[in-house]
Chain A
Protein backbone atom coordinates (compact mmCIF):
# COMPACT_ATOMS: atom_id res chain seq x y z
CA UNK A 1 0.00 0.00 0.00
CA UNK A 2 1.60 3.28 -1.03
CA UNK A 3 1.11 6.67 0.53
CA UNK A 4 -1.76 7.66 -1.77
CA UNK A 5 -3.78 4.54 -1.08
CA UNK A 6 -3.22 4.97 2.64
CA UNK A 7 -4.47 8.55 2.43
CA UNK A 8 -7.62 7.37 0.69
CA UNK A 9 -8.17 4.69 3.32
CA UNK A 10 -7.81 7.23 6.13
CA UNK A 11 -10.29 9.50 4.37
CA UNK A 12 -12.83 6.70 4.11
CA UNK A 13 -12.53 5.35 7.62
CA UNK A 14 -12.06 8.50 9.69
CA UNK A 15 -15.37 9.76 11.06
CA UNK A 16 -16.88 12.50 8.94
CA UNK A 17 -17.57 15.62 10.94
CA UNK A 18 -21.03 16.75 10.01
CA UNK A 19 -20.01 19.99 8.37
CA UNK A 20 -23.42 21.62 8.31
CA UNK A 21 -24.03 20.89 11.96
CA UNK A 22 -20.65 22.32 13.07
CA UNK A 23 -21.26 25.47 11.03
CA UNK A 24 -24.75 25.91 12.45
CA UNK A 25 -23.59 25.44 16.04
CA UNK A 26 -20.63 27.82 15.56
CA UNK A 27 -23.00 30.41 14.08
CA UNK A 28 -25.67 30.06 16.78
CA UNK A 29 -23.40 29.97 19.83
CA UNK A 30 -20.95 32.56 18.46
CA UNK A 31 -23.84 34.88 17.65
CA UNK A 32 -25.34 34.33 21.08
CA UNK A 33 -22.06 35.21 22.85
CA UNK A 34 -21.83 38.41 20.78
CA UNK A 35 -25.41 39.28 21.79
CA UNK A 36 -24.46 38.83 25.45
CA UNK A 37 -21.51 41.17 24.83
CA UNK A 38 -23.84 43.74 23.24
CA UNK A 39 -26.15 43.47 26.25
CA UNK A 40 -23.26 44.22 28.62
CA UNK A 41 -22.17 47.14 26.42
CA UNK A 42 -25.71 48.59 26.53
CA UNK A 43 -25.95 47.98 30.27
CA UNK A 44 -22.57 49.64 30.97
CA UNK A 45 -23.52 52.62 28.80
CA UNK A 46 -26.64 53.09 30.92
CA UNK A 47 -24.85 52.61 34.25
CA UNK A 48 -21.71 54.72 33.52
CA UNK A 49 -22.84 57.51 31.17
CA UNK A 50 -19.54 59.40 31.69
CA UNK A 51 -17.57 56.69 29.81
CA UNK A 52 -16.99 57.23 26.11
CA UNK A 53 -17.44 54.58 23.43
CA UNK A 54 -13.84 53.35 23.65
CA UNK A 55 -13.95 52.91 27.40
CA UNK A 56 -17.30 51.11 27.23
CA UNK A 57 -15.81 48.79 24.60
CA UNK A 58 -12.76 48.06 26.75
CA UNK A 59 -14.88 47.49 29.85
CA UNK A 60 -17.23 45.17 27.94
CA UNK A 61 -14.16 43.18 26.90
CA UNK A 62 -13.04 42.98 30.53
CA UNK A 63 -16.45 41.68 31.65
CA UNK A 64 -16.54 39.07 28.86
CA UNK A 65 -12.96 37.99 29.64
CA UNK A 66 -13.90 37.59 33.30
CA UNK A 67 -16.91 35.45 32.37
CA UNK A 68 -14.82 33.37 29.96
CA UNK A 69 -12.15 32.78 32.62
CA UNK A 70 -14.71 31.94 35.30
CA UNK A 71 -16.64 29.49 33.11
CA UNK A 72 -13.34 27.85 32.13
CA UNK A 73 -12.37 27.56 35.80
CA UNK A 74 -15.72 25.93 36.55
CA UNK A 75 -15.17 23.50 33.67
CA UNK A 76 -18.24 24.75 31.79
CA UNK A 77 -16.59 26.55 28.87
CA UNK A 78 -14.76 23.53 27.53
CA UNK A 79 -18.09 21.67 27.47
CA UNK A 80 -19.65 24.50 25.45
CA UNK A 81 -16.59 24.43 23.20
CA UNK A 82 -17.12 20.75 22.43
CA UNK A 83 -20.32 21.68 20.61
CA UNK A 84 -19.63 25.27 19.56
CA UNK A 85 -16.18 24.89 17.97
CA UNK A 86 -15.15 28.23 16.52
CA UNK A 87 -18.31 29.74 18.04
CA UNK A 88 -16.63 29.52 21.43
CA UNK A 89 -13.02 30.04 20.24
CA UNK A 90 -13.35 33.31 18.35
CA UNK A 91 -15.27 35.50 20.81
CA UNK A 92 -13.09 37.22 23.40
CA UNK A 93 -14.35 34.69 25.97
CA UNK A 94 -12.49 32.09 23.92
CA UNK A 95 -9.28 34.10 24.21
CA UNK A 96 -9.73 34.01 28.00
CA UNK A 97 -10.41 30.28 27.75
CA UNK A 98 -7.19 29.79 25.77
CA UNK A 99 -5.27 31.35 28.68
CA UNK A 100 -7.01 29.69 31.63
CA UNK A 101 -7.41 26.21 30.16
CA UNK A 102 -3.67 25.37 29.73
CA UNK A 103 -2.86 27.26 32.94
CA UNK A 104 -5.12 24.93 34.95
CA UNK A 105 -3.87 21.87 33.13
CA UNK A 106 -0.18 22.60 33.78
CA UNK A 107 -0.64 23.93 37.31
CA UNK A 108 0.67 20.60 38.62
CA UNK A 109 4.05 21.30 37.00
CA UNK A 110 4.58 24.23 39.33
CA UNK A 111 3.31 27.78 39.48
CA UNK A 112 6.16 29.45 37.59
CA UNK A 113 7.06 27.03 34.80
CA UNK A 114 3.70 25.28 34.76
CA UNK A 115 0.89 27.74 35.28
CA UNK A 116 2.54 31.07 34.47
CA UNK A 117 4.51 29.86 31.46
CA UNK A 118 1.83 27.65 29.90
CA UNK A 119 -0.83 30.37 30.21
CA UNK A 120 0.55 31.77 26.99
CA UNK A 121 0.85 28.61 24.90
CA UNK A 122 -2.07 29.82 22.72
CA UNK A 123 -2.36 33.46 23.82
CA UNK A 124 1.37 34.01 23.17
CA UNK A 125 1.14 33.81 19.37
CA UNK A 126 -1.96 36.01 19.51
CA UNK A 127 -0.21 38.69 21.56
CA UNK A 128 3.03 38.57 19.55
CA UNK A 129 1.30 38.82 16.18
CA UNK A 130 -1.18 41.43 17.39
CA UNK A 131 1.39 43.74 18.97
CA UNK A 132 3.80 43.35 16.03
CA UNK A 133 1.01 44.14 13.58
CA UNK A 134 0.02 47.22 15.56
CA UNK A 135 3.63 48.51 15.51
CA UNK A 136 3.84 47.90 11.76
CA UNK A 137 0.52 49.68 11.14
CA UNK A 138 1.54 52.56 13.41
CA UNK A 139 4.89 52.93 11.61
CA UNK A 140 3.21 52.91 8.18
CA UNK A 141 0.69 55.55 9.28
CA UNK A 142 3.49 57.63 10.80
CA UNK A 143 5.49 57.54 7.55
CA UNK A 144 2.40 58.38 5.48
CA UNK A 145 1.78 61.27 7.88
CA UNK A 146 5.25 62.65 7.21
CA UNK A 147 4.40 63.17 3.54
CA UNK A 148 1.08 64.82 4.12
Chain B
Protein backbone atom coordinates (compact mmCIF):
# COMPACT_ATOMS: atom_id res chain seq x y z
CA UNK B 1 0.00 0.00 0.00
CA UNK B 2 2.87 2.33 0.81
CA UNK B 3 4.46 1.84 -2.58
CA UNK B 4 1.11 2.74 -4.18
CA UNK B 5 1.05 5.99 -2.23
CA UNK B 6 4.65 6.77 -3.22
CA UNK B 7 3.85 6.37 -6.90
CA UNK B 8 0.68 8.40 -6.53
CA UNK B 9 2.76 11.25 -5.08
CA UNK B 10 5.31 10.91 -7.90
CA UNK B 11 2.48 11.09 -10.43
CA UNK B 12 0.86 14.09 -8.73
CA UNK B 13 4.06 16.13 -8.38
CA UNK B 14 5.39 15.23 -11.84
CA UNK B 15 2.03 15.95 -13.38
CA UNK B 16 1.77 19.28 -11.56
CA UNK B 17 5.23 20.38 -12.79
CA UNK B 18 4.28 19.55 -16.39
CA UNK B 19 0.85 21.20 -16.06
CA UNK B 20 2.52 24.42 -14.84
CA UNK B 21 4.80 24.21 -17.87
CA UNK B 22 1.81 23.73 -20.15
CA UNK B 23 0.08 26.71 -18.54
CA UNK B 24 3.17 28.83 -19.29
CA UNK B 25 3.12 27.66 -22.92
CA UNK B 26 -0.61 28.39 -23.24
CA UNK B 27 -0.48 31.81 -21.60
CA UNK B 28 2.81 33.22 -22.88
CA UNK B 29 3.41 31.27 -26.12
CA UNK B 30 6.82 30.27 -24.78
CA UNK B 31 8.87 27.96 -26.98
CA UNK B 32 9.94 24.62 -25.54
CA UNK B 33 13.56 25.84 -25.23
CA UNK B 34 12.43 28.74 -23.04
CA UNK B 35 10.26 26.47 -20.89
CA UNK B 36 13.16 24.05 -20.42
CA UNK B 37 15.53 26.89 -19.43
CA UNK B 38 12.94 28.37 -17.04
CA UNK B 39 12.37 25.07 -15.22
CA UNK B 40 16.08 24.22 -15.15
CA UNK B 41 16.83 27.55 -13.47
CA UNK B 42 13.86 27.11 -11.14
CA UNK B 43 15.27 23.75 -10.03
CA UNK B 44 18.74 25.22 -9.51
CA UNK B 45 17.32 28.16 -7.55
CA UNK B 46 15.15 25.93 -5.34
CA UNK B 47 18.23 23.85 -4.51
CA UNK B 48 20.34 26.95 -3.88
CA UNK B 49 17.88 28.25 -1.27
CA UNK B 50 17.47 24.79 0.24
CA UNK B 51 13.82 24.16 -0.66
CA UNK B 52 14.26 21.46 -3.33
CA UNK B 53 14.92 18.75 -0.77
CA UNK B 54 11.46 19.14 0.77
CA UNK B 55 9.74 18.73 -2.59
CA UNK B 56 12.01 15.78 -3.41
CA UNK B 57 11.25 14.04 -0.10
CA UNK B 58 7.58 14.24 -0.99
CA UNK B 59 7.47 13.80 -4.76
CA UNK B 60 10.71 11.90 -5.49
CA UNK B 61 11.02 11.28 -9.26
CA UNK B 62 8.09 13.65 -9.78
CA UNK B 63 10.50 16.56 -9.35
CA UNK B 64 13.83 14.93 -10.29
CA UNK B 65 12.79 13.43 -13.64
CA UNK B 66 11.59 16.77 -15.04
CA UNK B 67 14.41 19.13 -16.06
CA UNK B 68 14.15 20.72 -12.59
CA UNK B 69 16.13 17.68 -11.40
CA UNK B 70 18.96 18.57 -13.79
CA UNK B 71 19.04 22.09 -12.36
CA UNK B 72 19.02 20.71 -8.85
CA UNK B 73 21.97 18.39 -9.56
CA UNK B 74 23.94 21.26 -11.14
CA UNK B 75 23.37 23.49 -8.11
CA UNK B 76 23.98 20.71 -5.59
CA UNK B 77 27.32 19.86 -7.25
CA UNK B 78 28.42 23.48 -7.14
CA UNK B 79 27.36 23.86 -3.49
CA UNK B 80 29.19 20.64 -2.57
CA UNK B 81 32.30 21.86 -4.42
CA UNK B 82 32.20 25.27 -2.75
CA UNK B 83 32.99 23.56 0.56
CA UNK B 84 36.39 22.54 -0.86
CA UNK B 85 37.41 25.69 -2.72
CA UNK B 86 36.70 28.10 -5.55
CA UNK B 87 37.99 25.69 -8.21
CA UNK B 88 35.59 22.95 -7.09
CA UNK B 89 32.79 25.50 -6.74
CA UNK B 90 33.12 26.26 -10.46
CA UNK B 91 33.58 22.68 -11.69
CA UNK B 92 31.26 20.89 -9.27
CA UNK B 93 28.05 21.61 -11.15
CA UNK B 94 29.11 20.21 -14.49
CA UNK B 95 30.88 17.30 -12.82
CA UNK B 96 27.66 16.34 -11.04
CA UNK B 97 25.67 16.15 -14.29
CA UNK B 98 28.49 14.50 -16.27
CA UNK B 99 26.58 11.21 -16.60
CA UNK B 100 23.41 12.86 -17.90
CA UNK B 101 25.13 15.20 -20.35
CA UNK B 102 27.39 12.45 -21.66
CA UNK B 103 24.42 10.14 -22.15
CA UNK B 104 22.38 12.84 -23.89
CA UNK B 105 25.22 13.73 -26.27
CA UNK B 106 26.50 10.20 -26.97
CA UNK B 107 23.09 8.50 -27.32
CA UNK B 108 21.78 11.52 -29.21
CA UNK B 109 24.63 11.43 -31.69
CA UNK B 110 24.49 7.69 -32.38
CA UNK B 111 20.71 7.51 -32.61
CA UNK B 112 20.49 10.57 -34.86
CA UNK B 113 23.17 9.03 -37.08
CA UNK B 114 21.22 5.80 -37.65
CA UNK B 115 17.72 7.32 -37.81
CA UNK B 116 16.08 8.43 -41.01
CA UNK B 117 14.43 11.81 -41.19
CA UNK B 118 10.68 11.44 -41.39
CA UNK B 119 8.33 14.01 -42.85
CA UNK B 120 6.65 15.74 -39.93
CA UNK B 121 3.02 14.75 -39.70
CA UNK B 122 2.12 17.28 -37.05
Binding site for B on A (CB under 8 A): 17, 19, 22-23, 25-35, 37-39, 41, 54, 57-62, 64-66, 69-70, 72-75, 78-79, 82, 84-87, 89-92, 94-96, 98-100, 103-105, 107-108, 111, 115-116, 119, 121-123, 125-127, 129-131, 133-135, 137-142, 145
Q: Is the interface of B mostly helix, strand, loop or mixed?
A: helix
Q: Can you list 18 A-B contacts (CB < 8 A)?
A: A26-B21, A30-B17, A30-B66, A65-B103, A73-B111, A99-B104, A107-B113, A108-B117, A111-B113, A119-B109, A127-B101, A130-B70, A130-B74, A131-B74, A137-B44, A137-B79, A138-B89, A138-B93
Q: Which residues of B contact A (CB under 8 A)?
A: 6-7, 10-19, 21-26, 32-33, 35-37, 39-41, 44-45, 47-48, 60-62, 64-71, 73-75, 77-79, 81-83, 85-86, 88-90, 92-94, 96-97, 99-101, 103-105, 107-109, 111-118, 120-122
Q: How far is the CB of A94 from chain B (nearest CB, A)?
A: 7
- Is there contact, CB below 8 Å, between A90 and B36? yes
Partner of A134, one of B33, B77, B117: B77
